[in-house]
Chain A
């Protein structure tokens, strides 16, 4: 069981900055995120997009902002459970919480801060009649163990980097690789596009464009798929063992929606701008995931909400301790790793 002071669900900019504000109060944090890397949308969707409304940064790339936040919180040694989705929450008799992920990892904390943004990123599934039937036997939305495709017939669909990269990788592993995309153009690194072209010319990848998968067939397991050319409407049946649609990720509020929290407009309702606590005391919601009158889904607002949440969390954890907020210009930053940053002392020397 992982133990911490504030358990943060969601490692986007708001969740990351909460680690800093908690650290100033000597509170330890642990973050859970469904994505394999920290940064949330900033890393996953638009790492190369410039952001212009972070105070003090006239322009900063989303990916750089995440790098900076990771550097800023390093002294406070946050723990991470990445690639796992927070699934259930249990309130113990002493008022603390246990949050369990889809992989069974348990986290114990007196305070839970949901900084879940738009939700956890789940693979986008194509709309095909009997798709769910084959999810255990032939259809997968991400590749976890490439070895299971050795010697098999694999059909991938999609036009982005992951479809290109996995086609290239599987060309060496699988018996037969087919890549289906609705357009002739692919959106990916130039290098990957050229490599797929090369493998197609060599006959190692069977490229079907502009086409899409329109039907799945098979008694119990997936046996073949129907691919339709979107221009000519001509249909081709392809024998496959595996169908891997790679259409990117889309955010879903997911299991958090069933935690007994008040939900409004696909967001978690909090007490307006006081401390962002939900209807369950001890569970806070900060950043894009919450809603209150006047709410703005901005990173800078998430930073503010994280700060107030931490003050409230401190009082919840230490109800009897006296505390006043201290400026970092005065108190400096003392990390849990023993590091200390502080303003250099002014030299006091008389001038003759």
Chain B
């Protein structure tokens, strides 16, 4: 069992420091859901297929993240509130080198 530490700012602006396992095949969207940092039904709506943008977040730290896939790129191009540092949480898998990652959840679309 290995954990990394993440800093997540929720949609109300509250900072949460959480532990995320790297051995459970989890992504950032699922970590947010597991800690219930955003209400159920407002995040991860498509289940993690990069087919909605409900898990959009802004990456605040300068961690080297994997390149966006074509699906993620295309989804972000149609999402709202997109910034240069936007990513889909469901496409960011928890790995050891993400220890200390800081992200802020993008606003819900409605």
Contacts and interface: CB of A to CB of B under 8 A. Distances in A.
Interface in B37-75: 39-42, 45-46, 49, 51-52, 70, 73-74
Interface residues of A, dominant DSSP: loop
Contacts of B70: 187
A58 to B, nearest CB: 20
A26 interface: no
A251 B78 contact: no
A86 B7 CA distance: 42
Contact of A251 (B39, B45, B49, B73): B45
B77 A159 contact: yes
Contacts of B51: 45-46
A170 B74 CA distance: 24
A127 B107 CA distance: 12
B46 A266 contact: no
B80 A127 contact: yes
Given A182-B77, A183-B77, A250-B109, A49 B49 contact: yes
A181 B81 CA distance: 15
A250 B45 contact: yes
A248 B109 CA distance: 13
A118 interface: yes
A187 B51 CA distance: 12
Binding site secondary structure of chain B? loop
B78 A159 contact: yes
A319 to B, nearest CB: 35
Contact of B78 (A160, A265, A267, A291): A160
A265 to B, nearest CB: 4
Contacts of A46: 46, 49, 51
B77 A250 contact: no
A45 B46 contact: yes
A158 interface: yes
Interface string A165-202: 00000000000000001110101000000000000000
B81 A182 contact: no
Nearest to A181: B77
A352 B30 CA distance: 67
A266 B49 contact: no
Interface residues of A, number: 26
B78 A248 contact: yes
A185 B74 contact: yes
Given A46-B49, A265-B40, A127 B81 contact: yes
Given A46-B49, A46-B51, A124-B109, A247 B41 contact: no
A126 to B, nearest CB: 7
A263 B82 CA distance: 31
B84 to A, nearest CB: 11
A187 B45 contact: no
Interface string B19-45: 000000000000000000001111001
Nearest to A264: B40
Given A46-B51, A250-B109, A266 B42 contact: yes
Nearest to A118: B45
A126 B80 contact: yes
A158 B42 contact: no
Contacts of B45: 118, 250-251
Contacts of B77: 159, 181-183, 185
B75 to A, nearest CB: 9
Given A118-B41, A267-B41, 11 more contacts: A45-B46, A45-B49, A45-B51, A46-B46, A46-B51, A118-B45, A124-B78, A185-B73, A187-B74, A265-B41, A266-B40
Interface of A: 41, 45-46, 49, 118, 124, 126-127, 158-160, 181-183, 185, 187, 247-248, 250-253, 265-267, 291
Interface of B: 39-42, 45-46, 49, 51-52, 70, 73-74, 77-78, 80-82, 109-110
29 contacts: A41-B46, A45-B46, A45-B49, A45-B51, A46-B46, A46-B51, A49-B49, A118-B41, A118-B45, A124-B78, A124-B109, A127-B80, A127-B81, A159-B78, A182-B77, A185-B73, A187-B70, A187-B74, A247-B78, A250-B109, A251-B45, A252-B110, A253-B41, A265-B40, A265-B41, A266-B39, A266-B40, A266-B42, A267-B41
Q: Considering the complex of A and B, which 3 residue pairs feature the smallest CB-CB distances, nearest first? A: A266-B41, A265-B40, A187-B74
